[in-house]
Structure 1
Amino acid sequence: SAEDWADIRSDSMTLIGTNVNVTQQTITEKKKSLNNLPVYIRSPTSSHTETKFLKGTMIDENRNLVKVIDKDISKEPVYLTVPANDIIYEDEPFQSKYYVNFTYETTDAVYLSYLRSNLNWKTRYQLSLFEESKSPIIIAMADIRNDGKSRIDVEHAELLGGDINLRMFEQHRSERYEAREHAVMYSISHAQLSTGSPPPSVSRGEEVAGLYVFSINQPFSIDA
Structure 2
Amino acid sequence: MAVIKRISSPAKGEEKSEDRHEVHAEKMSSLGHFTQAIVHDIRNSLHIVVTASAMIKRRSDDRSIHSHLNAIDQTIERTNGLIERILTFANNSEDHLGIVDIADSINESISLTRPMIPAEITIDWQHPAEAIHILGDHGQLYQVVLNLLKNAIEAIGHGNHGSILVSLNKYYPWAELRVKDNGPGIAADVINQICEPTFTTKEDGNGFGLANVFDVVEKHGGTMEVASPVGEGAEFIILLPLMPELNM
TM-score, scaled to structure 1? 0.23
Q: Which of the pair is proportionally richer in helix?
A: 2
Greater Rg by CA? 1
Structure with the higher strand share, 1 or 2: 1
